[in-house]
Each structure stands twice: as structure tokens, then as C-alpha cells.
Amino acid sequence: MKKSNFYLALSLGVITFSLVWLFLVFYSIQGGFGEPRNTPRTIPFFLGICLLILGVIFMVQYFLSYRPKSQMDPFRLVEFRNVVICIISFLIYSYALEAVGFLISTPLIIFFLTRFILKEKSWKLNYLFPIVMTGSIYIIFIYLLQSSLPRGTIIQLF
């Protein structure tokens, strides 16, 4: 079976981009890596490492001879509607983050997307997932990364 060059080109492109990204982050943003608090370099460096890992995964897929689908299903109108609704939802979410903060706007947007876009019927997923997800992100950013999240201008929590 002939290997697909898609994953080779994709992996080389992602690896090259991530290496350029890491070089630019390291030389253009001030900050250290061993400091107890986050610096402006921390998150971009983490994203560059994630991109590098993704490129390596694509390279492994190439060597294992994965092949992409040769024909894709036609783009359906329902999928287009969902994409438009997601874009509008994220625009509203970005304004809601500024107005009411992270702790109110995030569970609401996650609930909206799971209930009306994914059409999930399970009450556990609809009500518990947004709360658990928001709490997890809050704990990671506030306690582990010692960073801050948007507090909101209208309603300020924590």
C-alpha cells in the first residue's frame, strides 16, 4: 500500500511552524522559565510545545501509513448552520466575558452549545458538565498557574 504524503506534508508544516513559533517566543518575549509565577512567555511557549507534539503525532501517522478519507461527505446545510451559530455564540461569549466575567458566561455558553448545537438530552451532561468544566478551568488558572480570569465589569465574582 502506497503511503499518503498528506500526513508527511502536514507534520513537516506543523513542526516547522512550531519551531519558528518557539524561537520567536524565546527571543522576542521577556521572561524566564523557572520563575514561580507566570511570565508573558509561559502560555505562548506552552502552545508552541503543544504544536510540536501535534506535528510529531502527524509524523507518526505518516510512518504508520494512515490515509485520509479519499472522498468527504458533502457539506450539509445543518452543519453550516451549526458553524454559523457557534461563531455567533463565541462572539457573544467574548462580550459576555467582559461584562459578567468568566464564572457566569462560561457555564452558560457551554450549556447552550451542548444543549442546542450538540442536542444532548442527558441532564448530567447538560447541567454538570458546564459546572465541572468551568470549575476545572478556574482551579487550573487561579491556583496552578497563579493567573487571573476575567472578572466582569457589571458583576464581579471572586
Angle, to 10 degrees, between the axis of helix 42-63 and the axis of helix 6-28?
160
pLDDT at 53: 92
Domain ranges of the chain: 6-63, 77-144
Encode pLDDT of 102-120 as tens digits.
Answer: 888 888 988 888 887 777 7
pLDDT at 56: 92
Low-confidence stretches of the chain (pLDDT < 50) are 1
What is the sign of the dihedral through the CA atoms of 26, 32, 34 and 36?
negative
pLDDT at 87: 86
pLDDT at 19: 94
